[in-house]
Structure 1
């Protein structure tokens, strides 16, 4: 394929699991060797073990729309206006619905905003954005970084109606983001340690702006227009894959050597790509687990005592 050409394919995805009414947050959990996603309407957190045909659900006391896997094995949740953490119940054990430990309340004075998208950066901080759920649909959503070490820090990015398409370059120095309601996919320089951004500019024009991820070749993948599309590092469209069964809402790389690209449909279907198509793609980049380890917690406690 030449640098300027676009490859287009329509595929009947391989249905791997079916569970709930899915949102856009699909994640590969390398510690548990399973795929995880929340049902933002049904109060479930699903897990599908590799090479197993059935997804298992854990009940949540509050719906979650965004998740991240943690270094400790716990799960970080975006639940409405709050970030929370849950300890998973071992497989095979019955238990009560999972209640999250609240870590932070986001924009408490503004009732219209909720967490709408997020992922970890390459340093294990959680970066996320909010959406305006009010009828006015004014751009009042913001972007934030959360870490155990530094707490909640707002990123100096333009306000949006609905934050979406958050992803990071392979080296972690570039952040991608978008407003799902308007505009294109944006990019900026990103300093994880200082939670600073700069050189904000458009990366690619896009008719839709859904969930996003980056592969090991530095290509940005975006959910849009009934499938997923791939952009080169220059923002040019390189590949389009349409999923015939249902509209995708999320995607993630994972599995052995992060070589699988799975798609999550709006009706809860989890799909793999046919082998011939999957083999053409570069591997993904593994998510960095959210850093909730003892060192990060101890550092956070020292900072609080010093305040």
Structure 2
């Protein structure tokens, strides 16, 4: 089924590379990756997004820290950091420092067990140069997957035992079993293959459906748990990038987009969109440090 209701546009801003949108504490936050900005999304079409923090490096995505309003963990620069009030930054690890090719962090999210996951990619999209990292609750950072070109997501089922991870350059979404105690991924299986465009940001809903923005097509896909394509949402922007489910009832699909690389961007390339859907999703899971004082 293809949605025909025009999406609402949130904000007057047009983002270079809008990504990492998350619904938390009754609002949507998002990133403009290459400018290093963390933004609170506008509520309507006539306002601007509000600046929360501005890092001197690319900022891929954040997760809220449980019980600490205004505190975040972030996939940024060459690693993972904490962001405190007024944008104060403290680095946890920079595992991509000294990489063979210039590399930055990309997408990231917390899982239902309180861990934070973040992927890295080469600026020039060198094949297999990307990795997936896990920040455990005790503050340890572990490289859990290698050989990825452009990792996006991940997204988790509600019980945290299944992880979906896109390798956008290959047009594939893989599904991994996750050990709930250790967080270690098992052997993957191919969940879905996208032949037109590239799967980008992802989220799951309460029925176990997987939503993904499809870069280069102006579309969002919803897949059923068996991997079959259930729904397509058309957007008036060619490069949808990140998405989440939010709003008061969890039934608003929020989608970021980008104008980077477009020779002649349209008026809505780089906009943030809102579309009403039938199946709700949950707010963004928080990072839960084992020591609650372990924040900025």
Band of TM-score, shorter chain: 0.7 to 0.9
Given the superposition, is the C-alpha separation of residues 235 and 158 from structure 1 closer, same or farther in structure 2, using an over 3 Å criterion? Answer: farther
In structure 2, the CA distance between the partners of 1:84 and 1:240, relative to structure 1 (3 Å rule), is: same
Structure 2: gaps (5+ residues):
259-268
Q: Which residue of 1 aligns with 2:239?
A: 247
The answer to whether residue 147 in structure 2 is matched with residue 159 in structure 1 is yes
| Residue 54 of structure 1: how far off its partner (Å) | 3.7
Shift of 1:271: 1.4
Question: Superposed, which structure 2 residues align to 1:92-241 within 5 Å?
Answer: 98-110=87-99, 111-134=101-124, 137-155=126-144, 157-207=145-195, 208-224=198-214, 225-241=217-233
Which residue is 1:287 aligned to?
Answer: 284
Distance in 2, Cα, partners of 1:10 & 1:247: 18
Question: Hey, what does 1:263 align to over in structure 2?
Answer: 255
Classify 1:21/1:182 alpha carbon distance in 2 versus 1 (closer, same or farther; 3 Å): same
Q: Would you say the 8 A contact 1:153–1:195 is kept in 2?
A: no
Structure whose alpha-carbon radius of gyration is higher: 1
CA RMSD of aligned residues (A): 2.3
**Relative to structure 1, is the Cα distance of residues 295 and 60 closer, same or farther in structure 2, using a 3 angstrom cutoff?**
closer
Using structure 2 for the length normalisation, give the TM-score: 0.85
- TM-score of the two chains, using structure 1 as the length reference: 0.82
Is the contact made by 2:63 and 2:285 (CA closer than 8 Å) also made in structure 1? no
Q: Which runs of 5+ in 1 are unaligned?
A: 1-6, 90-97, 299-307
Cα offsets for 1:180-223 (capped at 9, x unmatched): 11142100101243131113110111122111100000000011
TM-superposed deviation, 1:293:
6.6
Conserved 8 A contact 2:128-2:147: yes
Moved more, 42-51 or 211-220: 42-51
The structure-2 alpha-carbon separation of the partners of 1:259 and 1:9, relative to structure 1 and needing over 3 Å to count, comes to closer
> Where does residue 2 of structure 2 map in the other structure?
8
| Distance in 2 separating the partners of 1:39 and 1:183 | 23
